Amino acid sequence: MIADRFRLLAAAGCAALVLSGCAAVPGAPTPAPSSSANKHGAPVLAQPELDTAQFVPEPCRLLAATQLAQLGITVSGQPEDSPLGKACRWIATDTAAKVDFSLDINTQIGGLDQLYGRKNVFRVWQPLEISGYPAVIADEADKPFGQCRTNVAVSNTVLIAAGLQLKAGQDKPTDFDDPCPRGVKILEQVIHTLKGGR
């Protein structure tokens, strides 16, 4: 399943970060953050940090029913465990939306700059902005075939990732070969929620 693949990728990234942290020389000076750049080259957060604390126990609350309707989603989300935090999954492949997607509140990796520190792992790496917040589309495969994973930095330490898989086969949706815009639309709605809108 696509969700399992995302979990394995996330777990591998988390493990590598932990190992690299353990290899640090004790007492070595930590470079001071720059006002114009991060250590690994991630864009600096120019928008106010958004608080995800109230959503971590219940990540399905990131999208209200009205927002799901705007996205064409008519099924309820199911909470799941993720290696990098809490997640919620909407399985709508047998509906008109023809998509299976999840949202992860990534509180473990350490923010967007830590993801940038591992960008060489990904064959697809496309930086972008979502509602003014820095984001990146990242995937190990050259041709994801109807799937996309987009991470947006809502604070300096928290990422929210939308991982999706569009239905394949003869009944595949018309945007099967260009799935990432769906992830962007999902995350736009999430940011709207975090800003206090429902």
The stretch 117-146 carries a mean pLDDT of 91
Task: Kindly list the structural domains of the chain, giving each domain's residue range(s) and its CATH number in brackets, ordered by start.
Answer: 2-23+50-194 (3.40.1000)
Beta-sheet pairing, 124-130 with 147-153? unpaired
- pTM of the entire structure? 0.80
Q: Which residue from 134, 81, 137, 84 is spatially nearest to 107, judged by alpha carbons?
A: 84
Lowest-confidence segment of 14-28, 82-96, 155-169, 173-187 by average pLDDT: 14-28
The Cα 107–Cα 85 span in angstroms is: 6
The stretch 9-21 carries a mean pLDDT of 39
User: For residue 48, what pLDDT is reported?
Assistant: 96
Residue 122 pLDDT > 80: yes
The two structure tokens encoding residue 165: 């898989």
Query: Rounded mean pLDDT of the chain?
Result: 83
Phi, psi (deg, nearest 5) at residue 79: -65, 145
Tokens 């120019």 belong to 46
The stretch 130-156 carries a mean pLDDT of 91
CA distances from 61 to 54, 56, 67 (A): 9, 9, 11
The stretch 55-80 carries a mean pLDDT of 95
Phi, psi (deg, nearest 5) at residue 136: -155, 140
The Cα 3–Cα 82 span in angstroms is: 10
Residue 30 pLDDT > 80: no
Cβ atoms 37, 162 nearer than 8 A: no
User: For residue 145, what pLDDT is reported?
Assistant: 85
The stretch 170-180 carries a mean pLDDT of 94
User: For residue 134, what pLDDT is reported?
Assistant: 98
Beta-sheet pairing, 159-166 with 78-82? unpaired
